[in-house]
A and B are shown apart, each in its own frame.
Chain A
Amino acid sequence: MNYLKNHLSLILALVSILFSIEVYFIFNKIVTNYSQKIANNYNIIIVSNKPIKNLNLKTISQIDPINIESSLQNLKQNLQGFDIKKLKSELPYFYKLHFSKFPTPNEIEELTMQLKKIPSIKKIETFRANQNRIYNLLILTKTISIIFMAIILFISFLLILKQMEVWKLEHNERMYIMDLFGAPFLLKSGVLLRLAIIDSIISVIIIGIVITFILNSNLYQNILNQLGITINVNILIDLSLFFSISIIVSIISTIIVIFSKKSKN
Chain B
Amino acid sequence: MSKVITAKNLKLGYKNEDIIIDASFSIKTGEFIFLTGASGSGKTTILKHLYGELKPKDGFLQIGNFDMNKISHSKLLYLRRFIGIVFQDYKLIKDWTIEKNVKLPLIIAGIKEEKAQKKVDKLLAKVKLTHKAENYPYELSGGEQQRAAVIRAIINEPVMILADEPTGNLDDFSAKVVMDLFTFANQLGITVVIATHHLPKDFSIPYRNIHIEGKKLYELS
Q: Are B85 and A182 touching (Cβ within 8 A)? A: no
B95 near A174 with CB under 8 A, answer yes
| 26 CB < 8 A contacts A-B | A173-B94, A174-B93, A174-B95, A177-B92, A178-B104, A178-B108, A179-B77, A179-B80, A180-B51, A180-B80, A180-B85, A181-B80, A181-B81, A181-B104, A181-B108, A182-B76, A182-B77, A182-B81, A182-B83, A183-B77, A183-B107, A183-B108, A184-B77, A184-B108, A187-B107, A187-B108
Interface size on B, residues (CB 8 A): 21
Q: Could you tell me the distance between the alpha carbons of A56 and B41 in the complex, rounded to whole angstroms? A: 90
Chain B 54-98 residues near chain A, CB threshold 8 A:
73, 76-81, 83, 85, 91-96
Interface string of A181-203 (1 = CB under 8 A from B): 11110010000000000000000
Q: When chains A and B are docked, how far (Å) is the Cα of A230 from the Cα of B79?
A: 64
Q: How far is the CB of B50 from chain A (nearest CB, A)?
A: 12
Q: Does B94 contact A182, Cβ atoms closer than 8 Å?
A: no
Measured between beta carbons, the chain A residues less than 8 angstroms from B104 are 177-178, 181, 183
- B79 to A: closest C-beta gap in Å: 7
Does residue B143 face the partner (Cβ distance < 8 Å to A)?
Answer: no
Closest 10 pairs (CB-CB, A-B):
A182-B80, A182-B81, A182-B77, A183-B108, A174-B93, A177-B91, A181-B105, A180-B85, A181-B108, A177-B93
Q: Say whether A89 faces chain B, with CB atoms less than 8 Å apart.
A: no
- CB neighbours of A187 from chain B (8 A): 107-108
Q: How many residues of A contact B (CB 8 A)?
A: 13
A173 to B93 Cα, complex, angstroms: 8
- Identify which of A173, A174, A182, A262 contacts B79 (C-beta below 8 A): A182
State whether the Cβ of B202 lies closer than 8 Å to any Cβ in chain A.
Answer: no
- What are the residues of chain A within 8 A of B78 when measuring CB–CB? 182
New A-B pairs, 15, CB < 8 Å, besides A179-B77, A181-B105, A183-B104: A173-B93, A174-B94, A174-B95, A174-B96, A177-B91, A178-B93, A180-B85, A180-B91, A182-B77, A182-B78, A183-B107, A187-B107, A187-B108, A262-B73, A265-B53
CA distance A158 to B94 in the complex (A): 29
Q: How far is the CA of A178 from the CA of B53 in the complex (A)?
A: 13
The residues of A that contact B93 with a CB separation of less than 8 Å are 173-174, 177-178
For B178-191 the 0/1 string (1 means CB < 8 A from A) is 00000000000000
Chain B window 102-120, contacts with chain A (Cβ cutoff 8 Å), 1 for yes, 0 for no: 0011011000000000000
0/1 string, A7-34, CB within 8 A of B gives 1: 0000000000000000000000000000
In Å, the complex CA distance between A182 and B108 comes to: 7
Would you list which residues of chain A between 40 and 65 have a CB under 8 Å from chain B? Answer: none
Residues of B within 8 A of A177 (CB): 91-93, 104
Docked Cα-Cα span, A204 to B77, in Å, equals 36
Query: In the complex, which residue of chain B has the Cβ closest to the Cβ of A183?
Result: B108
Which residues of chain A (154-183) have a CB below 8 Å from chain B? 173-174, 177-183
Task: Give Cα A173–Cα B92 distance, bound, in whole angstroms.
Answer: 9
CB-contacts of A52-98 with B (<8 A): none
Q: Smallest CB–CB gap between B166 and chain A, Å?
A: 14
Task: Tell me the smallest distance from the CB of B193 to a CB of chain A, in Å.
Answer: 15
Cα A179 to Cα B81 in complex, Å, equals: 10
Shortest beta-carbon distance, B153 to chain A, in Å? 9
For chain B residues 21-42, which have a beta carbon within 8 Å of chain A? none
Chain B's closest residue to A182 (CB) is: B80
Contacts of B73 in A (CB 8 A): 262
Residues of A contacting B92 in the complex (Cβ-Cβ under 8 angstroms)? 177
B76 proximity list for chain A (CB < 8 A): 182
CA distance A184 to B73 in the complex (A): 10
Q: How many angstroms from the CA of A42 to the CA of B83 in the assembled complex?
A: 79
Give chain B residues whose Cβ lies under 8 Å from the Cβ of A178: 93, 104, 108
Residues of B within 8 A of A184 (CB): 77, 108
A10 to B107, CA, bound (A): 29
